[in-house]
Amino acid sequence: MDRKLHSALGGAETIVHRFREVLESGGISNVEVIDLKNAFNTLSRKYLGEAIMELDPQMFAYVQWAYGDVTPILMTMEDGTTQEVLSMEEIRQGDGLAVKLMGDMMHCAMRELIKKVPGLDMDVFVDNITLSVRSGSELVEEGQYEGM
């Protein structure tokens, strides 16, 4: 099986079935599942725009309209007052396209990572990442990937 990155572009079922195939094929030395905390609120809108331009250019006008400028965020302070903070990060979780936008951005980011780390396979669904390392890969043989 070739090294691949599978992401939400094909839906969660694609990832579940692909990962089952990987496990059944054997030869996996390590598996790690990562759930990114606060992922929607910490992503770069600049990177989001770049990912959308590459994967779905027809959506770029929407992303530019919805996320191209600062967003006021209202925060309630301990004393009960409200303070406005301007943000250039985050995807609004109430946005009906938030999962698609996050999935596209994660696909691009993880694709770059997989190019740089030999022996690593990834499955990505929104902000959930499953990493697997094949037995006999340079990563395992050289002891570069410990703690998985």
pLDDT tens figures, 44-54 = 888 899 999 99
Cβ neighbours of 84 (radius 10 Å): 8
What is the model's pLDDT at position 120? 79
pLDDT score of 5 = 52
Q: What is the DSSP letter of 106?
A: H
pLDDT at residue 60 in the model: 93
Entry pTM: 0.64
pLDDT tens-digit series, residues 82-128 = 999 888 888 876 788 888 888 888 888 888 888 887 777 887 777 88
Output the average pLDDT for the chain: 77
Q: What is the 3-state composition of the chain as percent helix, strand, coil, each rounded to the nearest 5? A: 45, 25, 30
**What 3-state class would DSSP assign to 90?**
coil
Is 121:3 a contact under the CB 8 Å cutoff?
yes
Mean pLDDT of 21-35: 77
Most distant CA pair in the chain: distance in Å? Answer: 58
Give Cβ neighbours of residue 52 (< 8 Å, ≥ 6 apart).
59, 60, 63, 101, 104, 105
- Proportion of the chain above pLDDT 90, given as a percent: 14
